[in-house]
Structure 1
Amino acid sequence: MPQSEDQRLVDLEARLEREDPRFTRAMRSGRPARPREYRRTGAWWALALGVAVLGSGIALAQGLLIAAGLVLVGMAAQLVDPDPSRLGRQRQRRG
């Protein structure tokens, strides 16, 4: 038995509420916010911290700081970089 369109919309709304409550609250108030997958502020701060640790490690000639900085920069770059599979799908749709 097929679901009604209203039931599908209610299910979609409930799933979105569980996945990203901040986004759904913003949509209800009429002031949209970025969805979770587009929020990268924390990743940029982590990248800045990693570069600072790496730079201070180089300046102080401390191998442990250099290694920690490289690890932080690598982790943050992974968070800042968008999902490659999603990028591939967008390019396929355009072409």
Structure 2
Amino acid sequence: MTQFDDERLVNLAARLERDDPRFARALGAGRPARPREYRRTGAWWGLATGAVALGAGVFLPHGLLIAAGLVVMGIAVQLLDPDRARRRNGSSR
């Protein structure tokens, strides 16, 4: 490889380390890990929490609890969107 190619690879590795350190460490150790774009655990927890709040609000007729559950579920659904990064950058379908 040429010196230019080596510099590009070093820059790419540094950017990957800065963007997603957990993925970069796992890649360097030879143990695959999901990149940040595919980790959605927090979104699923938010969706479950919102569903519980919504159910409790319906069971105990309480409008504020229903509204809070709907808001939390809406936020969680936005986090589960697979094309979120592309839409954030201004690209559309």
TM over 0.5: yes
For 2:30 and 2:73, the matched residues in 1 are separated by 37
Alignment-derived partner of residue 27 in structure 1 = 27
- Percent sequence identity over aligned pairs: 67
AA aligned opposite 1:4: F
Alignment-derived partner of residue 80 in structure 1 = 80
Unaligned ranges ≥5, structure 1: 87-91
Once the two structures are TM-superposed, the CA of residue 83 in structure 1 deviates from its matched residue by: 1.3
Once the two structures are TM-superposed, the CA of residue 84 in structure 1 deviates from its matched residue by: 5.6
Alignment-derived partner of residue 39 in structure 1 = 39
With over 3 angstroms needed to count, the CA separation of the structure-2 counterparts of 1:85 and 1:27, relative to structure 1, is: closer
TM-score by length of 2: 0.86
Alignment-derived partner of residue 70 in structure 1 = 70
Write out the 4+ residue segments of structure 1 that deviate beyond 2 Å after TM superposition.
none
With over 3 angstroms needed to count, the CA separation of the structure-2 counterparts of 1:65 and 1:77, relative to structure 1, is: same
AA aligned opposite 2:18: R
AA aligned opposite 1:76: A
Unaligned ranges ≥5, structure 2: 87-92
Once the two structures are TM-superposed, the CA of residue 81 in structure 1 deviates from its matched residue by: 1.7
Alignment-derived partner of residue 49 in structure 1 = 49
With over 3 angstroms needed to count, the CA separation of the structure-2 counterparts of 1:64 and 1:46, relative to structure 1, is: same
Asked if 1:58 is matched to 2:80, the reply is: no
Once the two structures are TM-superposed, the CA of residue 85 in structure 1 deviates from its matched residue by: 7.0
SS in 2 for 1:34: coil
Asked if 1:14 is matched to 2:18, the reply is: no
Q: How many residues align?
A: 86
AA aligned opposite 1:19: D
